[in-house]
Structure formats: structure tokens, C-alpha cells
Amino acid sequence: MDEITTTRTNDLIDPSLHIWGWEVGIYLFLGGLVAGMMIVSGYFIFKGRHNEHTCSCFRLPLLGVILLSVGMFALFLDLEYKIHVWRMYATFQIASPMSWGSWILILVYPALMANILMRPAEWMAKRLSILKTASEKINQSPSLIKAIGLTNIILGAMLGIYTGILLSAFGARPLWNSSILGILFLVSGLSSAAALVHMIAKNAEERVLLAKADINFLIIELVIIGLWIIGLISSTDAHLRAAFLILNGPYAASFWVLVIGIGVVIPIIMQSLAVRHRIHHYSILPVMVMFGGLMLRFVIVFAGQYSHWTRGL
């Protein structure tokens, strides 16, 4: 059995198949993180927490704009023909996940800006008085505030799912050839966002709420990963050989230790004890969750490029 496994795994390793680099992993992680931040912020707004001065929904949108811009710049660095990037916005191809993603990203920025305008940072309002005027008008309309919150939730969900669909659309790579990746990346993004907000939130109630939510997100993420793996090993021989890459092949150590162990299992156990006040809540736990989310993208992106439909090349 070990000999068969080794043969199957070695058949999949070919450096010439390495197309995407670390930039794509960074982009997918930051895109998912911002998606989760938009959903968290939108939920707080929709539930009326924006009436509290310490609400995280006023800190997340500006951070989201910065992180998403960094992610898009990383993706830009990975493009071979950078000068042609504008062509993505010269058309809309309904059957192309990349086209959907390009336009979703364009819509995300106005949604984040609308969230920022609800209560712009003091340094922004001082330099641009028009922001203060816009903020006053927005806050005079409860229905508009609700719409901003709901828009952020919807676009955040679309952005999070897109980051996974972007990979699953590549049918030539069996490891990516699963529609469940969209849900996996969305939940992983929510988990990373909950961890981040737990670290930066000034409101103690929000920190507790997000710590509990993160436990649930991590459990769901673990279940989805299990379903994804079951789908791979119960499918074609190509999918089975692709699964060996992360189960006991060259990416197994990174997957089991960095993603599952450090990024999911340990945070679930430690945070569960912390919210029950059995242990102190260590600040390293949210960092571990985000690190695991980043490693999940790296493992899937790199391992997926080495999976193919033929046994030999």
C-alpha cells in the first residue's frame, strides 16, 4: 500500500506545472479575510450596534480597503501580462468566475466606503468636511443604514465564495475540482475575520461574542474540510491521487500541522476553555487562526497545481 501511495504521489510532482506563486495565496487569504470583515461589520450594523461608539463596524471598513488593496496588488504582481489588466473591466463574461470576481471587487469598494461614511475617522473628517456632511445625512436615515449593513453582508458573502470558486473552476486540477471550495473559503474567511476583530475590538461584549462565533466557524470549517477530502477520495482515481498530496504526500505535514493542528484544532480547544473561563484567553490564539487560514490557501494553491488527470506526464 505504501509503495502504491508513493508512486501515485510522485506521479503528481512536476515543477513545470507550477503556475501560480505565493501572491495568489496572499490574494485569496486577504480577499477572504475582507469578506469576513464585511459580513461581521454588516451584521453589527444590521443589528443596531452602530449606535455604540466602540462598535468595530467603524474600524473594519477602512482596514478592509487597505487589506483588499494589498491583496489585489499581490495578484497584480502575479499577472504575466500586467498591462492588459484593464481588459477585465471592458466586458462581462457570465460564465467566467474571474469576470464575476473582477466586478464583485469593484462593487466591494463602494460598499466599504459607504460603511466608512457612517462615521469617518476624525482625521479624515477634519481634512474633508464633505465627509462629515455625508455622515450626518446617512445617519439621519435608519433605512439607509440598514441597507449599508445588508449590502456589506451580501457582497462579503459573494467575495468570500468567489475566492474558492476561482479555483474550483479549473477543472484540469482535480484537487481544486470541487464546488465545496467556495463554502470552505467563505467559512475560513469568516473565522479569520472573527479572530482579527476579537483582537482589535474595544468592546468587551464584541470580543466575547466573536470568540464564541469563531469556535463555531472553526468547527464548521473542519467539517467542510472533511467533506472535501471525502469527496476527493470517493471520486475518480485522479481525485484520489490528488488527495494523497495533502493526506500523506509532500504537502501532508503542512496540511496536518499548520492548517488542521495550529490553525483549527488547537484554537477550538483553547478558545472553548477560554470562553468557559477555565483558562486565560491567550492573544496568540487569534493569530493562530489567521495563520491557519493563510496556510490553507497556500497548501491548496500549491498542491492543486501539481494535481492532474493523467498518471504520468
pLDDT at residue 102 tops 90: no
pLDDT at 121: 77
- Cα–Cα distances (Å) from 82 to 46, 74, 89, 305, in that order, read 39, 12, 14, 22
% of the chain residues with pLDDT over 90: 51
* Average pLDDT score, the chain: 85
pLDDT at 96: 67
Q: What is the dihedral of CA 189, 190, 192, 196, to 10 degrees?
A: 130
pLDDT at residue 202 tops 90: no
The domain limits of the chain are 2-305
Class of domain 2-305: mainly alpha
pLDDT at 2: 39
pLDDT at 291: 97
Rounded to whole angstroms, how far apart are CA atoms 289 and 191? Answer: 7
List, for residues 210-221, the tens digit of each pLDDT value.
999 999 999 999
pLDDT at 311: 54
**Residue 104 vs residue 99, higher pLDDT:** 104
| Model confidence band, residue 243 (pLDDT cutoffs 50, 70, 90) | very high
Least confident of 54-63, 95-104, 234-243, 298-307: 95-104
SS3 readout for the chain: CHHHHHHHHHHHCCHHHCCCCHHHHHHHHHHHHHHHHHHHHHHHHHCCHHHCCCCHHHCHHHHHHHHHHHHHHHHHHHCCCHHHHHHHHCCCCCCCHHHHHHHHHHHHHHHHHHHHHHCCCHHHHHHCHHHHHHHHHHHCCHHHHHHHHHHHHHHHHHHHHHHHHHHHCCCCCCCCCCCHHHHHHHHHHHHHHHHHHHHHCCCHHHHHHHHHHHHHHHHHHHHHHHHHHHHHHCCCHHHHHHHHHHHCCCCHHHHHHHHHHHHHHHHHHHHHHHHCCCCCCCCHHHHHHHHHHHHHHHHHHHHHHCCCCCCCC
pLDDT at residue 200 tops 80: yes
% of the chain residues with pLDDT over 70: 86
**Residue 259 vs residue 6, higher pLDDT:** 259
List, for residues 126-148, the tens digit of each pLDDT value.
777 788 788 888 888 999 999 99
pLDDT at residue 112 tops 70: yes
pLDDT at residue 260 tops 70: yes
List, for residues 175-191, the tens digit of each pLDDT value.
998 889 999 999 999 99
> Would you state the cell numbers that stand for residue 187, as one nine-digit string?
467559512
**Residue 91 vs residue 287, higher pLDDT:** 287
pLDDT at residue 9 tops 70: no
